[in-house]
């Protein structure tokens, strides 16, 4: 990683002069004395070891938050009471002050353990002061000297001899931060995808779809098929997120990122079919959540908390022109491209249901939804889900509400395929009228059960709405991460 590459991380950040650093340290020392006097317990002062003139930048802030999380979790695990906690975020650096009701030696031992074991530990600087103000050293707990950021040798010896230049040190710091960011990204995306897909199938009753009560209008799958399928495709979402993360560094176009997902999508669909016995349990999720995972990874590289609007806008940019590609495919026969977006068809295979419906009726289905940045989810599904949760509804009942809202506003080509366009419009109007009555949880469940019975009888499966419900859950859990 060259100097020019690391400089990207400091874009828009303030360089700190020596005088500012000295003033910052003096202010920090005064605050330490105040907190020791006020709370009387041991005081931990958390910061980061970052060489150079840039001390505050997005990647560093992410690392600092992880330092606080790891330290406070360790205190809680040892049932140590936190008396006070505060943080400061300045151009000269980040600092957390944590007063704890435990001997300073115990707190220092916890800090040393984190510094030694955590992926970011070499960057963590956890100073601990006794109630009298004395600063404990690592040797007080029997801990080994801190390793060098670059070579892993004795850090004190390398620093004293100036064994490594500043660019080499900064590059090492960025590399450590990036390694951890990749791990956090994979965990965040896979957890959100797992919860979203399991929440979607668990919401009951869900008209015409597999849920905890029945198989809906399906004969080739049940809830256990879904569980097997989710388990098989979960690594795919991590891969998509990492693809997005790396594309940000390479400064690839959004469309190039989308194109890079195709081969991954093909493999994910094979894994799904193997796990489900050939059933199409998650083809739509492979498409939709795959794109969202990649978009999130791309934004996450430089932003710890990407906004939902920004995320959905990027999804639209990634799939710009997808509907036009679909139109050509629908008029000339399947291409070797995505179906529904990341998995490939073969020229001799008949047109898909989506292609046929697009050619006949102009309904764009999931391709149109994604290429516009998921407007139905943005306007209806996600707000309805989060509103219901904020009003105290259970995840199940909030999911029913969001699903019925999506049913009222989604051009679900699955419904059209299994019935016709007038039936889709009738279902949309019925769902909209019902929601206008502002029903409570019991009425929601009753209505969903009635629709479920009707859809099963008429062999209607609103799979498009199910996919968008999963997307709504996915975005909700990403926001909550």
Whole-number pLDDT of residue 11 = 85
**What average pLDDT does the segment 422-444 reach?**
97
Do residue 278 and residue 411 come from a single domain? yes
Do residue 65 and residue 108 come from a single domain? yes
Whole-number pLDDT of residue 139 = 87
Question: Residue 238 domain-assigned?
Answer: yes
**DSSP codes, 368-411:** HHHHTT-HHIIIIIHHHHHHHHHTT--HHHHHHHHHHHHHHH--
Question: Residue 197 domain-assigned?
Answer: yes
Q: What is the pTM of this model?
A: 0.88
Q: 358, 324 in Cβ contact below 8 A?
A: no
- Picking from 131, 164, 197, the residue at the C-terminal end of a domain is 164
Question: Residue 469 domain-assigned?
Answer: yes
Domain encompassing residue 88 = 3-164
* pLDDT tens sequence across 262-276: 999 999 999 999 999
Both structure tokens of 194? 């797992």
Do residue 301 and residue 387 come from a single domain? yes
Do residue 56 and residue 7 come from a single domain? yes
**What average pLDDT does the segment 466-479 reach?**
98
**DSSP codes, 56-124:** --HHHHHHHHHHHHHHHHHHHHTTPPEEEEEEEEETTEEEEEEEESS-HHHHHHHHHHHHHHSTTTTTE
Do residue 410 and residue 342 come from a single domain? yes
Q: How confident is the model at residue 358 (pLDDT cuts 50, 70, 90)?
A: low
For the beta carbon of residue 277, count every other beta carbon within 10 angstroms. 12
| Residue 135 DSSP symbol | B
Number of domains in the chain: 2
Question: Residue 437 domain-assigned?
Answer: yes
Q: 135, 127 in Cβ contact below 8 A?
A: yes
Do residue 197 and residue 326 come from a single domain? yes
Higher-scoring residue by pLDDT: 360, 165: 165
Residues sharing a CB contact under 8 Å with residue 241, sequence separation 6 or more, in sequence order: 185, 186, 188, 189, 293, 294, 296, 297, 300
Question: Residue 174 domain-assigned?
Answer: no
Kindly list the strands in the beta sheet with 42-48, ordered across the sheet, starting from the edge strand earlier in the chain.
82-90, 93-100, 42-48, 124-129
Q: What is the CATH number of the domain that holds 34?
A: 3.30.70
- Burial of 429: CB neighbours in 10 Å, binned 0-12, 13-18, 19+: exposed
Do residue 134 and residue 190 come from a single domain? no
- Picking from 129, 164, 199, the residue at the C-terminal end of a domain is 164
Kindly report the backbone phi and psi dihedral angles of residue 379, in degrees, each rounded to the nearest multiple of 5, phi listed first.
-90, -35
Q: 217, 463 in Cβ contact below 8 A?
A: no
Do residue 144 and residue 186 come from a single domain? no
Whole-number pLDDT of residue 322 = 78
Do residue 218 and residue 118 come from a single domain? no
CA atoms within 13 A on the CB side of 204: 11
Residue 452 clears pLDDT 80, i.e. is over it: yes
Do residue 343 and residue 473 come from a single domain? yes
- Picking from 115, 134, 164, the residue at the C-terminal end of a domain is 164
* pLDDT tens sequence across 102-153: 999 999 999 999 999 999 999 999 999 999 999 999 988 888 888 999 998 9
Question: Residue 172 domain-assigned?
Answer: no
Question: Residue 220 domain-assigned?
Answer: yes
Which of 215-224, 310-319, 350-359, 421-430 has the weakest average pLDDT?
350-359
Residues sharing a CB contact under 8 Å with residue 387, sequence separation 6 or more, in sequence order: none
Residue 1 clears pLDDT 70, i.e. is over it: no
Do residue 157 and residue 263 come from a single domain? no
Give the number of residues written for the chain: 481
* pLDDT tens sequence across 44-76: 999 999 999 999 999 999 999 999 999 999 999
Whole-number pLDDT of residue 302 = 84
**What average pLDDT does the segment 407-427 reach?**
93
């Amino acid at each position: 990683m060259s100097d020019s590459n690391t400089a990207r991380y400091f874009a828009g950040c303030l360089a700190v002069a020596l005088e500012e650093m000295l003033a910052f340290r003096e202010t920090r020392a005064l605050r330490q004395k105040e907190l020791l006097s006020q709370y009387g317990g041991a005081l931990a002062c958390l910061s980061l070891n970052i060489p150079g003139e840039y001390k505050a930048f997005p990647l560093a802030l992410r690392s600092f938050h992880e330092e606080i999380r790891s330290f406070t979790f360790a205190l809680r695990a040892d049932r140590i009471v936190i008396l006070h906690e505060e943080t400061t975020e300045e151009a000269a650096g980040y600092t957390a002050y944590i007063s704890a009701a435990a001997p300073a030696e115990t707190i220092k031992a916890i800090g040393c353990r984190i510094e030694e074991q955590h992926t970011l530990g070499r960057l963590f600087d956890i100073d601990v002061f006794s109630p009298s103000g004395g600063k404990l050293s690592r040797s007080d707990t029997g801990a080994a000297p801190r390793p060098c950021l670059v070579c892993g040798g004795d850090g004190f010896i390398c620093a004293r001899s100036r064994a490594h230049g500043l660019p080499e040190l900064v590059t090492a710091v960025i590399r450590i931060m990036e390694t951890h960011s990749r791990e956090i990204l994979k965990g965040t995306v896979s957890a959100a995808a797992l919860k979203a897909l399991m929440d979607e199938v668990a919401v009951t009753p869900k008209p015409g779809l597999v849920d905890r009560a029945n198989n809906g209008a399906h004969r080739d799958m049940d809830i256990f098929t879904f569980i097997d399928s989710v388990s098989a495709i979960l690594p795919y979402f991590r891969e998509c997120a990492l693809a997005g993360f790396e594309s940000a560094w390479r400064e690839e176009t959004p469309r190039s990122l989308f194109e890079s997902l195709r081969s991954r999508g093909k493999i994910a669909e094979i894994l799904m079919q193997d796990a489900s016995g050939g059933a199409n349990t998650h083809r739509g999720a492979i498409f939709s959540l795959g794109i969202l995972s990649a978009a999130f990874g791309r934004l996450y590289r430089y932003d710890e908390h990407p906004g939902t609007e920004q995320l959905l806008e990027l999804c639209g940019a990634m799939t710009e022109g997808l509907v036009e590609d679909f139109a050509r495919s629908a008029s000339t026969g399947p291409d070797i491209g995505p179906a529904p977006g990341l998995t490939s068809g073969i020229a001799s295979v008949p047109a898909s249901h989506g292609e046929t419906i697009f050619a006949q009726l102009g309904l764009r289905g999931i391709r149109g939804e994604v290429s516009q940045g998921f407007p139905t989810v943005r306007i209806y599904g996600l707000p309805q889900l989060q509103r219901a949760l904020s009003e105290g509804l259970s995840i199940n009942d909030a999911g029913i509400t969001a699903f019925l809202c999506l049913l009222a506003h989604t051009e679900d080509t699955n419904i059209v395929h299994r019935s016709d366009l007038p039936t889709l419009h009738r279902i949309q109007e019925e769902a909209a009228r019902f929601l206008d009555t502002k029903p409570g949880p019991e009425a929601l469940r009753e209505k969903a059960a009635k629709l479920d019975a009707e859809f099963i009888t008429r062999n209607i499966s609103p799979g498009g709405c199910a996919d968008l419900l999963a997307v709504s859950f996915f975005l909700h859990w990403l926001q909550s991460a």
